[in-house]
Structure 1
Amino acid sequence: MNKVKKAIIPAAGLGTRFLPATKAMPKEMLPIVDKPTIQYIVEEAICSGIEDIIIVTGRSKRSIEDHFDKNHELEADLECKQKNELLEIVRGVTNLVEIHCVRQKEPLGLGHAIWCARKFVAGEPFAVLLGDMIIESEVPCLKQMIDVYEERPGSIIAVEEVPWESVSSYGVIQGDMINKKLNRITNLVEKPKINPPSNLAMIGRYILDPKIMDILEHQQPGVGGEIQLTDAMKQLAADQNMYSFRYEGKLYDVGSKLGFLKANIDFALKRDELGSGLWEHLYELTGGAAQDAGGMREARRIG
């Protein structure tokens, strides 16, 4: 069995939900506190044992490539000014992992973006991590999935339960339960408008068999006139085992404004140099309610 050592991060979307901020800046470069969103995704992949990453970019996405490239002028300036801590941070980003980039020349959908990386995959199983979903967990979400894959070879999709009224915003699965975390998938539907098969939504983490590239090559446009990854996975599931996996962790949909703000607040509260000041601000805004909630959370943590 081939191990999962490669990952694709699609980052070619236009980011229209964050206009005008994303008119010139990729949404994947919007910071969660002081780190670009996409770096959290790359770090999850690395901590899961991924050795090679390809980022699928689009027009006006050059800054993503530059972020992970070496910046000689910046490093020389920081070294000259003896700002060693910042220098270590900058060099650390460059040395994270071997990162490649390929461009999706037309915005034809997520399925097409994955297909653009077909030469990189080269017949091996691979992971896909969507760039606008950050998952905070003790064991990285992708690592949890790889552990399952090594026990049950086959494509694996991370899912979580969402409110029924929100199902039409997601791709959802239908399947036969194996245990409380695993289902064998029998059907997948992209953004169902009526009669959704379940409220188990796909949340942007996949391990896929390379045969999906052959399916994507001939995939017809689906919802929204785009080539949908869900449609190709549905065909793949008819030919081989595919599982859904309920991961452990907290999901932040940073592709939405509310999710982005929640992530910034939660991550900042955990920073020693920011947490107390932010709690004071929240206390002022909420008339003490935030402080009470923070005290209860701290008491639970200590207990």
Structure 2
Amino acid sequence: MTHIRKAVFPVAGMGTRFLPATKSIPKEMLTLIDRPLIQYAVDEARAAGIEEFIFVSAAGKCALEDYFDTAALLEERLRAKGKTDALAALDRTRMPEGALTILRQAQPLGLGHAVRQARRLIGDEPFAVLLPDDVIAGETGALSQMVAAHRLTGGHMVATMDVARAETASYGVLDVARQDGRLAQARGLVEKPDPARAPSTLAVVGRYILQPSIFDRLADLTPGAGGELQLTDAINADVVDTGVTGYRFAGERFDCGSVAGFVQATVAFALARGDLAAGVRCIVDGDRPAGRIAA
């Protein structure tokens, strides 16, 4: 199978759930511990072998571009002060020359429309799509797991997880033809179904590996759920010709597009760090950390 070299990151959303913070800060730049959300997605993509990064952005998101640019003055000052750890932390924010392309989505017409913007840059090869709102923690990155599985399956592949039936109305959901371990062959997908009519509880989350045939389907899309051009609908239209496999990844997914999910991720990631776990656990367990000022 062809190596997956390119990835699309839809980052044009307004982040209204996080207002007023997102009035001036792109949602993808909100910091989870000490890295912005976009960095987690880029790191996961790099670990999976991605070489070219395509951001589909919008007006007012220059901070994303600045973040992955060289900060010459900052680096010079850190170097002069011998702050080697801080300099090392900046390494992951660097992109090789020509590796990052930023496109502008002029209108917020949905995820399918955002992915469609990348057609000329993707060309005739399979590619990945990562939604930075979905942060997935695991020993091996979710996209790395999918790339390995995709070598065996081909076609379109979507990351999946089991959800409560009542939650299916918030997701694209697989209509499963057959299941083999972590792989589920789909006969179709339904975007945000009525829970009573959901074909399964296997929900699609923000990682995809797509064949270039998806762009022909995206070109023919009409508005779907929410009046938007849904990527799920385009994938569903390609089930017969290209095939669609759901991959149930190993790891824990956090919906950082919601305030509650962002807080949950912050606590979980802090508890996983040796330098933060003890202090955070005191708060979680209801004990007062040393030095806390009483009300």
TM-score > 0.5, shorter chain as reference: yes
In structure 1, the partner of 2:28 is 28
Equivalent AA in structure 2 for residue 155 of structure 1: H
Which range moved further: 197-206 or 84-93? 84-93
Gaps of 5+ in 2: 289-295
In structure 1, the partner of 2:201 is 199
In structure 1, the partner of 2:144 is 143
The 2-side partners of 1:246 and 1:276 are apart by 32
Q: How large is the RMSD of aligned CA atoms in angstroms?
A: 1.7
The 2-side partners of 1:135 and 1:96 are apart by 25
Paired residues of 1:70 and 1:91 also in contact (CA < 8 A): no
Per-residue deviation, 1:283: 2.9
The 2-side partners of 1:264 and 1:186 are apart by 37
Equivalent AA in structure 1 for residue 84 of structure 2: N
Instruction: Name the SS for the 2:232 alignment partner.
Output: helix
Gaps of 5+ in 1: 287-303
In structure 1, the partner of 2:249 is 247
In structure 2, the partner of 1:292 is none
Equivalent AA in structure 1 for residue 156 of structure 2: S
**1:64-79 counterparts in 2 under 5 A?**
64-79=64-79
In structure 2, the partner of 1:51 is 51
In structure 2, the partner of 1:217 is 219
The 2-side partners of 1:115 and 1:162 are apart by 28
Which range moved further: 85-94 or 229-238? 85-94
Identical aligned pairs, as a percentage? 42
In structure 1, the partner of 2:80 is 80
TM-score by structure 2 length?
A: 0.93
Asked if 1:63 corresponds to 2:82, the answer is no
The 2-side partners of 1:284 and 1:247 are apart by 33
Paired residues of 1:154 and 1:208 also in contact (CA < 8 A): yes
Q: Give deviations 1:182-201, integer Å, cap 9, x for gaps.
A: 12111111111251111110
In structure 2, the partner of 1:296 is none
Per-residue deviation, 1:95: 4.2
Instruction: Name the SS for the 1:284 alignment partner.
Output: coil
Q: Give deviations 1:100-128, integer Å, cap 9, x for gaps.
A: 21111111110000001111111110011
In structure 2, the partner of 1:278 is 280
Q: Give deviations 1:11-55, integer Å, cap 9, x for gaps.
A: 111111111111111111001111001100100011011111111
Equivalent AA in structure 1 for residue 138 of structure 2: S
The 1-side partners of 2:119 and 2:212 are apart by 8
Equivalent AA in structure 2 for residue 81 of structure 1: K
TM-score by structure 1 length?
A: 0.91
In structure 1, the partner of 2:111 is 110
Per-residue deviation, 1:281: 2.4
Q: Give deviations 1:184-224, integer Å, cap 9, x for gaps.
A: 11111111125111111001111101011111122111111
Q: Give deviations 1:128-154, integer Å, cap 9, x for gaps.
A: 111100111112111111111111111
Per-residue deviation, 1:285: 5.1
In structure 1, the partner of 2:37 is 37
Instruction: Name the SS for the 2:161 alignment partner.
Output: strand
Instruction: Name the SS for the 1:263 alignment partner.
Output: helix
> How many matched pairs?
287
Per-residue deviation, 1:264: 0.7
Instruction: Name the SS for the 2:217 alignment partner.
Output: helix
